[in-house]
Amino acid sequence: MPGSGGPVATFSVWDYVVFAGLILFAAGIGLFQAIRGRKETSSSEFLLGGRQMTAVPVALSLTASFMSGITVIGTPAEAYLYGTPFWLFVFSYAIMSTISAELFVPLFYRLNITSTYEYLEMRYNKLIRIIGTSMYIAQTALYTGMVIYAPALALNQITGLDLWGVLVATGVVCIIYCTLGGLKAVIWTDVFQMVIMLAGFVAVIARGAALQGGLGRVWNDSYHGGRLETFSFDPDPLRRHSFWTIVVGGSLMWTSMYSINQSQVQRYISCRTMTQAKLALYVNMVGLWVTVSLAMLSGLTMYSIYKDCDPFSNKDVGATDQLLPYLVMDILADFPGLPGLFVAAAYSGTLSTVSSSINALVAVTVEDFLKPSLPWLTERQLSWINMGMSVFYGAVCIGMAGVASMMGNILQAALSIFGMISGPLLGLYVLGMFFRCVNSTGGLVGLISGLIITLWVGIGAQLYPPLPEKTLRLPLSVDGCIAPEMNQTTTMTPFSTVLQTTTPMPRPALADSWYSLSYLYFCPVGIIVTMITGLFVSAVSGGCKQQKDRPELFITKSDLLCFRRSEDTEMSKPDLIEKESKHVQGLDSPVFCDNEIALKEKESEKITRF
């Protein structure tokens, strides 16, 4: 009986058929794009799809890239254990989308860049660009390792397949279509995988609601179990999730993911126009809303079923990230093929994120390291290098999955990584875009200072996890379990658990204050430290006089109110970039018309909102 504890069924033949069929079909889409574009062998085609993509597939790819296997498995467990405060991220997604679309898209399009970190060399110097790229590579490799580990854990729980066998298989599938198809293969495969992810959530919610007598019962159980206490305005920065930590800290963290992270930027700058790029970000925002809502409903459904018999406390699962896979086999085993659909959903999210990461890692390596050092390389040679680097980074990401297996709560660990590394980087970009007085010395010292601080608090939080009164895990019961203490699941033990159980250490003075800071504040701390330090050092070292002849590197009023004359919408992208650059330097009439001249011309010339 579902919800009573004990062992659950394993995969049937039909589950294997559905799972294998969906994954092969997804890989087939990538290979089809590779064959279709086999005559287009340029580096731009491989890395940016020839800059001819449209908004909707790019938007779905953006959503799928970070709504990964971690989301499929980790977010429902979040709702089950902590309730619905995580749902407040819908506000963060809206703020992030607006900032990315209205500030960063115009800048990157104006500069016509391939690697996000090209901007750092334009604004500061080559050393800062190399450091920024290296930080991104380290962050992405570790994050991708987590993403590979999450569905492997699900497959290990449900099917008993060898954990490392699944890890390697995931990497190999991604390597194949990334290597052959480039960005177009990644994006179109993401579109299909996004549909599969959503279908997996819907299957869990529908079956769970049917077992419980409807969504009303699920909602009622969640209410009485304290899972619907979403809004907490407690200003305590040590509280794991509150309105302020999620809306303030979460917005900045997600902005760092979408505005400067190569995996995401590479997608929307592949759009054929700036309008399409902005639209992709706003459609992606809706996709994020839908995905997180379905994930939260899946978690509430899980709580309704297990409110009297928690599988984790009952030792039916060995980690909280195995809760949803356990639920799937508990409630869907009577419907051959549906468990296979769910595992395909988690696996699809992984393939999407891993392929996106591999493609982005290749892009920054080629653009930031190889091209500047080896300018004589031909397009054909670059194409072979692109494919070789895809294989290399696929192997690196598989190796990093071993490290990720020791990170504890996989959802929080993944977001913490972005906060620790992307926070200082976003602060560096904001300094460069808005403050003309900041020079390369200030930028470098600010970046290093911000990174030291965020690594300090982040690693400290991993070694000394916050006490329960700050994390506020909600109560669970095992009173309704029929067979407690059965089916101990074997899995990799989180590193934080090893530290707590095998080598108890006294908690230092900072453990209950600095190290207990909400993981969502890692990013704001990095931004603030980087900016304050960068401004101070720049002021002491004489300011940034050398940048006055590069006004196109800064955000202006015209970037904030983006209007364009109708004649400009018909211009080719290179001509438009040149015209916008001339306007920023004061050498041409305005392309973006938010000033008095535009208002005077409004009656005689049609103006369209960009």
Mean pLDDT score, 347-366: 76
483 pLDDT above the threshold of 90: no
Residue 589's pLDDT band, with cuts at 50, 70 and 90, is: very low
What is the set of domains in the chain, with CATH numbers? 13-547 (1.20.1730.10), 556-609 (no CATH)
507 pLDDT above the threshold of 60: yes
pLDDT digit string, tens, across residues 148-157 = 776 676 667 6
Mean pLDDT score, 516-542: 92
**Which of 27-31, 316-320, 371-375 is the least confident region?**
27-31
Residue 492's pLDDT band, with cuts at 50, 70 and 90, is: very low
547 pLDDT above the threshold of 90: no
Distance in angstroms (rounded) separating the CA atoms of residues 6 and 486: 6
The dihedral built from the CA positions of residue 274, 350, 147 and 128, taken in this order, carries a sign that is negative
Mean pLDDT score, 124-145: 87
pLDDT, residue 322, reads 80
Residue 577's pLDDT band, with cuts at 50, 70 and 90, is: low
Residue 73's pLDDT band, with cuts at 50, 70 and 90, is: confident
pLDDT, residue 312, reads 86
Distance in angstroms (rounded) separating the CA atoms of residues 519 and 496: 15
pLDDT digit string, tens, across residues 374-420 = 777 777 787 788 778 878 887 787 777 766 666 555 666 767 787 88
532 pLDDT above the threshold of 90: yes
**Which of 158-162, 390-394, 403-407, 489-493 is the least confident region?**
489-493
319 pLDDT above the threshold of 90: no
pLDDT, residue 449, reads 96
pLDDT, residue 95, reads 95
Identify the residue whose tokens are 């699944």: 166
Helix then strand then coil, in percent of the chain rounded to 5, is 70, 0, 25
pLDDT digit string, tens, across residues 208-251 = 999 999 999 999 999 999 999 888 898 989 888 899 999 999 99
pLDDT digit string, tens, across residues 431-474 = 999 998 899 999 999 999 999 999 999 888 888 888 777 777 88
Q: What contacts 139, CB < 8 A, 6 or more positions away?
A: 417, 418, 421, 422
Residue from 188, 183, 360, 170 nearest 257 by CA: 360
Residue 551's pLDDT band, with cuts at 50, 70 and 90, is: confident
47 pLDDT above the threshold of 90: no
pLDDT, residue 48, reads 53
pLDDT, residue 563, reads 41
pLDDT, residue 52, reads 63
Average pLDDT, the chain: 77
pLDDT, residue 488, reads 43
Query: Regarding predicted confidence, which is higher, 303 or 189?
Result: 303
pLDDT, residue 404, reads 64
pLDDT, residue 522, reads 92
- The CB-side HSE value for 458 (13 A sphere, CA atoms) comes to 26
**Which of 191-200, 396-405, 473-482, 533-542 is the least confident region?**
396-405
pLDDT, residue 41, reads 52
Residue 267's pLDDT band, with cuts at 50, 70 and 90, is: confident
pLDDT, residue 143, reads 80
Residue type, 270: S
**Which of 34-43, 266-275, 441-450 is the least confident region?**
34-43
pLDDT, residue 590, reads 37
**Rg (alpha carbons) of the chain, rounded to whole number:** 25
520 pLDDT above the threshold of 80: yes
> Are 101 and 278 in contact, with CB atoms under 8 Å apart?
yes
Query: Regarding predicted confidence, which is higher, 94 or 403?
Result: 94
20 pLDDT above the threshold of 90: no
Query: What are the beta bridge partners of residue 609?
Result: 563
pLDDT, residue 565, reads 39
pLDDT, residue 411, reads 60
528 pLDDT above the threshold of 90: yes
pLDDT, residue 220, reads 94
Mean pLDDT score, 166-170: 72
pLDDT, residue 559, reads 67
Distance in angstroms (rounded) separating the CA atoms of residues 77 and 318: 13
Backbone phi and psi for residue 123, each to the nearest 5 degrees, phi listed first: -90, -35
- The CB-side HSE value for 547 (13 A sphere, CA atoms) comes to 25
Mean pLDDT score, 508-524: 87
Helices 55-66 and 163-212: crossing angle in degrees, nearest 10, is 100
Neighbours of 488 (CB within 10 A): 10
Residue 161's pLDDT band, with cuts at 50, 70 and 90, is: low
Question: Would you state the structure tokens that stand for residue 221, as one six-digit string?
Answer: 């159980």
What pTM value is reported for the model?
0.80
Query: Considering the chain, what percentage of its residues have pLDDT values greater than 90?
Result: 22
pLDDT, residue 270, reads 80
336 pLDDT above the threshold of 80: yes
Residue from 212, 204, 409, 242 nearest 307 by CA: 212
Mean pLDDT score, 159-185: 68
497 pLDDT above the threshold of 80: no
- Tell me how far apart the 2 most distant CA atoms of the chain are, in Å: 80
> Are 169 and 159 in contact, with CB atoms under 8 Å apart?
no
